[in-house]
Amino acid sequence: MRLQQPCLIALALTAILSGSAHAESDDLATAVLGLETQDVPPKLADEIAELLRQNVSSSHDMRLGAGRDLVELKLVFSCADEGHACMAQAAKSLSVERLIYGSIKRSGDAYVVWLKLFDVKHEKIEAWLSETVPKEKLGGASLKPIVARWFFKLRGRSADVGTLRISAEVPGAVVSLDGVAAGATLPDKPLVLSDVPAGKHEVSLTKVGFGAGAQSVSLAAGQVLDLKLDLRDSNGAPVAAKSRPVVQLGEADRDESEGARGGKSAPGAGYRTGFWVTLAGGVVSAGAALKFGLDVRHVNQDLDAYRRFPCASGVCDTKGQPAMPLTPAERDAATSLTDKGNRDHALQWVCIGVGSALGIASGYFLYKGYLAGEDEHSGGESAMVQRGLRIFPAASASSGSVLAEFDF
């Protein structure tokens, strides 16, 4: 076992890398399955499932995955009793980490609703609820807050909160909720603030070089409210995306913007961590492969004393000199050395394979973490200062050149 430790360390580093790669995205892919019904209009079950999907989409730590009808999925995977192992297998076919599913059945003049939140990785029910609701309450405008309350209960959170979805023409602007920085506007999707207490709030938008924008809102429990905020130009008019100025940020402004994002790591931080982890793992694997290669060489040298070849005088050793045939003890020693050499040779190739994979991964993470720059991670057209490799032309009265700058 001592000889295998270097490769085991490299494989452990690979496991650490997997964890760091997942850390880049905290969203858990969650599928909402169509509810199973009994003496209930299918339209009502579809409305409840759709409202649950909207709540998943609005959650800051969930990402909506592809869903299917619960009855159909149970038939395909033979999950008649909704066994945990079977439901986990069904969830993996949808490439999700959480399932929300359940049933709705009629009971007199009321409906009985069962909902479950299933943890795919651990193959267990993470949370569940059962509630009997009068028929007249599960319809019209009253359905949405009821479903929101169920969703929050499944998540173990207070139901007296709502969600704000904030968008603006100018990305990278700081969004403040009641005077406290809560995030920054995104170029291609709204900034989602979940678990906002129900009630009145002041939402403001600021960015260097622009006039601030603000709006007062009243948020109801379970409500998902979409807001469109605009920055102002020097004349106090709303700024359109096509006419927004490009503002270079200094170090102080960059620190302010990073702080406004709630202390989250900069884009590419996970890739940079991945680069150093894979680099270290690759070096360890290469060193282990070299060690096992030397061990194989030493075994071959030790085996030379036991090698016998036919020759004119009968049997000769590796130097061509007459030698006695091997005794049983010598044959056992030669077999033991051969087994050791074969084992070391196999481990050498395992380490070469692991090292090669880590080397490729290291190159990928080097590019994504250090060379791609922050705009590629965010997918936007931000005027923020980029990290990574920047190449730009330079010219003077008598000559031209190209300058390159590499920023870690």
Query: Could you report the per-residue pLDDT of 100-152, keeping only the tens digit for each?
Result: 999 999 999 999 999 999 999 999 999 999 999 998 888 787 788 888 888 88
Q: Which residues contact 245 (CB under 8 A, 6 or more apart)?
A: 209
One-letter amino acid at 68 equals R
Class level of CATH domain 162-260: mainly beta
- Rounded to 5 degrees, φ, ψ at 97 are -105, -15
Hunting for tokens 């319809």 — which residue is that? 139
| Alpha carbon separation from 75 to 78, 81, 92, 123, 184 (Å, rounded) | 5, 11, 16, 19, 45
Write down the pLDDT at residue 106: 92
Q: What is the pairing mode between strands 98-107 and 110-119?
A: antiparallel
Type of residue found at 363: G
Task: Report the alpha-carbon distance of residue 100 to residue 88 in Å, rounded.
Answer: 12
Q: How far is CA 364 from CA 8, 15, 20, 274, 372, in A?
A: 23, 17, 14, 9, 10
Domain ranges across the chain: 26-157, 162-260, 269-371
CATH number of this structure's domain 26-157, picked from the four choices 3.40.50.10610, 3.20.20.140, 2.40.160.20, 3.40.50.970: 3.40.50.10610
Predicted pLDDT at 115: 95
- CA dist 274 and 268 (Å) reads 10
The residues of the chain scoring below 50 in pLDDT are 1-4, 16-25, 241-264, 375, 378-387, 392, 394-400, 402, 408
Buried b (16+ CB within 10 A) or exposed e, 65-75: bebbbbeebbe
Residue environment code for 208-227, b if the CB has 16+ CB neighbours within 10 A, otherwise e? bbbbebeeebebebbbbbeb
Closest CA to 24 of 259, 365, 254: 365
Question: What pLDDT score does 384 carry?
Answer: 40
Q: Is the pTM of this model over 0.75?
A: no
What is the DSSP annotation of 132-179?
Answer: EEEGGGSSGGGHHHHHHHHHHHHTT--SSEEEEEEEESSTTPEEEETT
**φ, ψ (nearest 5 deg) of residue 40:** -130, 140
Q: With contact defined as beta carbons under 8 Å apart, do 160 and 221 qualify?
A: yes
What is residue 326's predicted lDDT score, i.e. its pLDDT?
Answer: 84
Minimal CA–CA distance to 307: which of 325, 294, 329, 332?
Answer: 325
Pairing label, strands 36-38, 98-107: parallel
